[in-house]
Structure 1
Amino acid sequence: MTRLLDENRRWLVLGTLFLAAGANVGSSNYAFGLFVEPLETTFGWSRTAISASLSFTAVGALASPIIGRLMDRHGARPVLVISLALMGISFLVRPAMTELWHWYGLSFLQFIGISGITVLPAGRLIPIWFPSSHGRMMGITVAGINVGGITIPFIVNVTLGASGWQAAYVAMGVIAVALAALALLFIRERPPDAQDDSAGAAQDVISRMSGLPLSAATRTRSFYAIVGALALGNFGHAGVFPQLIPHFTELGVPATWAAITVTVMAVAGLISKPTFGYLSERMTARRAMMLTLSGQCVGSVLLVLSPITAWAGLPIFGVSMGAHSALMPLLVQESFGSRHFGSIMGTVTMFTLIPFGLAPIIAGRTFDVTQSYTLAYLGFAVLFVIGAAGLTQMRIRGENEFV
């Protein structure tokens, strides 16, 4: 049995990361809205008070450099296991809530380790286990986000209808804890040809990695080019995507048809992640990211010209935006290596979440003043071009993952 596990270890690692990504985003983002009305009915809390719990994503962003540094020091497995366990516990305890502060405390527990579930461990482990195809495999791994965005809300919706919101939270908690157990069982931090499973094996892998430390990385133009590109690219996810349905209805598209935009985006994202992961192996992650930012620009412009061009621009924008999460860790590794990937990626993540606070306000204010999202979308298109241009200042390391 042990031999069979070792022979298939890299696929078990990929599968665990794929499922973890889906559970993380599916439960934290996609399924959140399904609980708002039941919680409002049960406790009498306002929707503003319930939705305010999402602000704890900022806590997760602030914690990401710390989590990244811990991963650099101790490896990805303990970080992934603990982060999944914290999320699972936060869900399992929610049926016992009686006060609003319980809701906030458990939301804090859920989000504090959120960066330790998807991008950080995947960005570290995939190049170790798939050194010659890490772009494609990174794309497949983060495609779990799209799969989780479909399956987790379905599970929650069925459980809600059958047994109530308490049982739905228990179901999500069981999934997260089960994934923590899988991570403990399957995740190993060593190259595929290594045979040592001792406690020091992960540290041995770490010692053989190459790359700049955070202090040196922050003194390079590449660091700020990457931060700028990723932050500006996130205006698509934070500013364009959430307004698609109301934007299409403003263009005169019937509401039932406008709702299809979400499905188109999900399918486009599912296709784009492995596709651009593969392209990153052929043209570098930098050029692939420049292509996606350019695609977001073109898609955003087409979205505002007319209903016909909007439908043409939607898949272009969806494919381009969907590839963003797959290319993020590849971009950082391409410039700075993997030895200190956790601390660098964690710091980059902290800054690139700023658009999630700004973009909704910009889009909302633009609509209030002009009764249209056109100016906001065009403004975001300009930001995408600036982000792509900034990547011309990024430099690529000329050495292998392991030395």
Structure 2
Amino acid sequence: MAGAILANGAAGLLYVWSLFILPIEASLGLGRADMGMISSLALISFTVGASVMPAFLARIGRLGVACLAFALIAGGHLVFGIWPSWAALALGYGVGFGAGSGTAYAFALSLAAALPAHVRAVAIGVAMGAFALSGILLPVTLGGWIASAAPGSAFVRIGIVVLVVGLLCVLAVLASGASRRDHEAQTLAGTAPRMDRPFLVLAMIFFMLCFIGLAVISHAAAMAASAGIPAPGYAASALTLGYLAGSILGAPIAERLGERRVLMALGALALVGTLAMFAASAAVFFAGAALVGITFGGSGSIMPVLLGLRYGAEHISRLYGRLIIAYGLAGLVAPDIAGRLFDRAQSYAPTIGLCAVLALTAIVAPLLLERSSRGR
């Protein structure tokens, strides 16, 4: 559990990127399009890293994956810190850190999923919650320093801290004896089941929920400002806090409610949240943003539990590595579509309306799921 928390805490640096946009632009003379490309590259690499992690786990074991993930995360920061340039940012942060973050995210899930059944759902929730923790703690504790420090210096220091955290993660895995059970775990897991109809339905629902979350989170402050909401920056804070709550509570709630009910509940929360963002009231708008955050974070911790209920806990890591492709696709299209819709209408109403339609579809889609012999 300690190893999972440390791994996902480091992976969660992915959500701290916005803090560096203005300092790096000023330091290197880059434009917002250049910075957007780096963010997209990191997200693509994250998806690839999470998707291939189970294959690496089967070949080099838990200790090898832990070392690989933290080497990529730390190295990605150090490369830019030592040689600050757009190319170093693209290769070091965009490719290296992005892939390392995705690997660490999937690795944390595999550690939590390997715990005994009576604590597994809670462990998955806590591990997924750790992913959001960096995005909350770093802006509060180091936001001012990051804004004023030279970007290269900040990246070097973060890289060094990540190496220390990686060492602690490796020691945690060693102390638990998990590395000695690699062969046994791989033998039990075998080959993951094929992507049948229920899996594709789950992937479709996951894509829709991630589209809503990423469309809103990438434009949250701008949405609030466009609606005339005072202090629009609080929209991102509301989203992040909702994301953390959904991540921690989603998995154990999924275990109790079962497949259809929890997915329909997620869709309902997303629908209420997006509709609330039509409001001119700041309180209602921020509450809606928090609900969208809950559904976005909740989907990330709920889906592994549902995969375990339907296909068996031993297949969670491999199947989630496939399912997360839906997250990557949503990340590629959602922020761009939201921006294009705003440019055409000079309003975020079409984006919010599209998210509401997707949420409504997510409420109905679980009815397509066949009853499982394992889940409810």
Bin of the TM-score, shorter chain as denominator length: 0.7 to 0.9
| Aligned-partner residue type, residue 253 of structure 1 | I
**Equivalent residue number for residue 227 of structure 1:** 203
Indicate conservation of the 8 Å contact 2:69/2:104, yes or no.
yes
Show CA shifts across 1:228-278 (max 9, x none): 011111112211233332222233222x2x222222222222223332222
Residue 137 of structure 2 is aligned to residue 111 of structure 1:
no
Residue 356 of structure 2 is aligned to residue 381 of structure 1:
yes
Give the match's secondary structure for 2:228: coil
Write out aligned runs for 1:149-298 (5 A): 149-154=135-140, 156-157=142-143, 159-160=145-146, 164-187=150-173, 197=177, 200-209=180-189, 213-214=191-192, 216-218=193-195, 220-254=196-230, 256=231, 258-298=232-272
Show CA shifts across 1:267-319 (max 9, x none): 22222333222212211255323311221012111221442643453333333
C-alpha distance in structure 1 between counterparts of 2:15 and 2:241, whole Å: 17
**Equivalent residue number for residue 15 of structure 1:** 2
C-alpha distance in structure 2 between counterparts of 1:336 and 1:23, whole Å: 29
Cα distance 1:281–1:351, how it changes in 2: closer, same or farther (>3 A)?
closer
| Aligned-partner residue type, residue 62 of structure 1 | V
**Equivalent residue number for residue 39 of structure 1:** 24
**Equivalent residue number for residue 59 of structure 1:** 45
C-alpha distance in structure 1 between counterparts of 2:228 and 2:311, whole Å: 48
C-alpha distance in structure 1 between counterparts of 2:175 and 2:18, whole Å: 36
C-alpha distance in structure 1 between counterparts of 2:178 and 2:214, whole Å: 43
Task: Pick the structure with greater CA Rg.
Answer: 1
C-alpha distance in structure 2 between counterparts of 1:72 and 1:286, whole Å: 32
Task: Pick from 297, 303, 321 the counterpart of residue 277 of structure 2.
Answer: 303
C-alpha distance in structure 2 between counterparts of 1:396 and 1:88, whole Å: 44
Show CA shifts across 1:78-110 (max 9, x none): 223311121112212323215432222212111
Give the match's secondary structure for 1:217: coil
Q: Which moved more, 1:234-243 or 1:158-167?
A: 158-167
C-alpha distance in structure 2 between counterparts of 1:29 and 1:250, whole Å: 23
Write out aligned runs for 1:324-343 (5 A): 324-343=299-318
Q: Structure 1: any 5+ residue segments left out of the alignment?
A: 1-13, 191-196
Q: Which moved more, 1:367-376 or 1:65-74?
A: 65-74
TM-score calculated relative to the size of structure 1: 0.82
Residue 70 of structure 2 is aligned to residue 95 of structure 1:
no
Runs of 4+ aligned residues of structure 1 deviating over 6 Å after TM superposition are none
Show CA shifts across 1:158-193 (max 9, x none): 544675323311221122212221221112698xxx
Indicate conservation of the 8 Å contact 1:189/1:202, yes or no.
no
Indicate conservation of the 8 Å contact 1:272/1:323, yes or no.
yes
C-alpha distance in structure 2 between counterparts of 1:282 and 1:304, whole Å: 33
C-alpha distance in structure 2 between counterparts of 1:77 and 1:315, whole Å: 37
Residue 374 of structure 2 is aligned to residue 394 of structure 1:
no
Cα distance 1:249–1:38, how it changes in 2: closer, same or farther (>3 A)?
closer
